[in-house]
Chains A and B, each alone.
Chain A
Amino acid sequence: MNDEFKAFIQRIFNLNEGEYSDSLNMEDIANWDSLKHMELITNLESKYNITLEMMEIVNMRSIGTIIETLQGKGVYVG
């Protein structure tokens, strides 16, 4: 895993070092609500200079799907 991406996710969701995993999803992360999701989207768009479509935004419900979505945009963080 790209350390920069891992640090980015940890910062957004306030995760401790040992708490990160690609398999984490919305249910696993207590503060991943719709407002946190907005923050995630704007930060992803700004950091990777991409624009996410509405379907992509709605479907990103786990760290894994975030990685897949970024790959679909030509951004490889895995």
Chain B
Amino acid sequence: MLDNKVIVITGGASGLGLAIAEALFKQNGQILVFDCNPEPFETLSQHFDCYEVDVTDEQQIEQAVTRVIQKYGQIDVLVNNAGIIHSQPLVNIMDPEQRRHSYQAFKKVINIDLDSVFLMTSMVAEQMIMKRTKGVIINISSISAQGKAGQTAYAAAKAGVEAMTRVWAKELAGFGIRTNAIAPGFINTPSTSDALNEQLIKDIKQMTPMKKLGEVEHIVQAAIYAIENGFVNGSVLEVDGGLVI
């Protein structure tokens, strides 16, 4: 059980972030959702403390983290989950209007998927150090960090997230702060079925040694493991049914 640990989850108002939030709440965590979309807050605020934050905006993060510290005194766990997926080949010879990968799109993905993790963690880790909190940072990566064709920006961002995970695991360990990443494979979520057609899902299942998609619960179990196991630090937990091996 998480004993009322103060847990900040970015992008926690929907999708995988929400699933993690709900599961950690059931484990007795005090859940704080940082999300740029406040629409679900009315419902979510029954169980969660919700903050409207654009996690690419340094000033907004600083204000939100300050409010959290004033209210709760410390942050025990940060889950950097917020992000977007963007798929586009480096060169698409079939599209004469947009033959090369959009630089604007590249920068946007890096900003949302990589810069946000840097900004959030620098501010939360600073507070953990100041308050002597032996906290945990969990970065949500992806199997795309290995270099998935058609995802230059997303793969670059997630590879960057994994590199930062290892750096922070070394830098912050002296303060008792552990940093780990979770790299989900293909998970059975509405966003997966929206993004991939039935045949592609069938092909992915075939390519995966476990011959199935993962469930959200598998990611949640990895998050709980990363929080509770005091000797796991700098790891990238690949939760993908063996897809990347």
Contact = CB atoms under 8 A, between A and B. Distances in A.
A22 interface: no
B167 to A, nearest CB: 11
Contacts of A35: 171, 174
B174 A39 contact: yes
A42 B130 contact: no
A42 B175 contact: yes
Interface residues of B, number: 7
B176 A42 contact: yes
Nearest to A45: B132
Interface string A12-52: 00000000000000000000000100110010010000010
A35 B130 CA distance: 15
Interface SS of B by simple majority: helix
A55 interface: no
Nearest to A38: B174
Interface residues of A, number: 7
Contacts of A38: 129, 171, 174-175
A54 interface: yes
- Among A38, A45, A51, the one with the most B-chain Cβ atoms within 10 Å of its Cβ is A38
Interface in B175-211: 175-176
Contact of A51 (B129, B132, B174, B176): B132
B172 to A, nearest CB: 8
A38 to B, nearest CB: 5
Nearest to B129: A38
Contacts of A51: 132
Contacts of B132: 45, 51
A35 to B, nearest CB: 6
A19 B171 CA distance: 27
Contacts of B171: 35, 38
A55 to B, nearest CB: 12
Contacts of B129: 38
Interface string B107-139: 000000000000000000000011010000000
10 contacts: A35-B174, A38-B129, A38-B171, A38-B174, A38-B175, A39-B174, A42-B174, A42-B175, A45-B132, A54-B130
Interface of B: 129-130, 132, 171, 174-176
Given A38-B175, A39-B174, 10 more contacts: A35-B171, A35-B174, A38-B129, A38-B171, A38-B174, A42-B174, A42-B175, A42-B176, A45-B132, A51-B132
- Which 7 pairs from chain A and chain B are nearest by CB? A39-B174, A38-B174, A42-B174, A42-B175, A35-B171, A38-B175, A51-B132
Interface of A: 35, 38-39, 42, 45, 51, 54
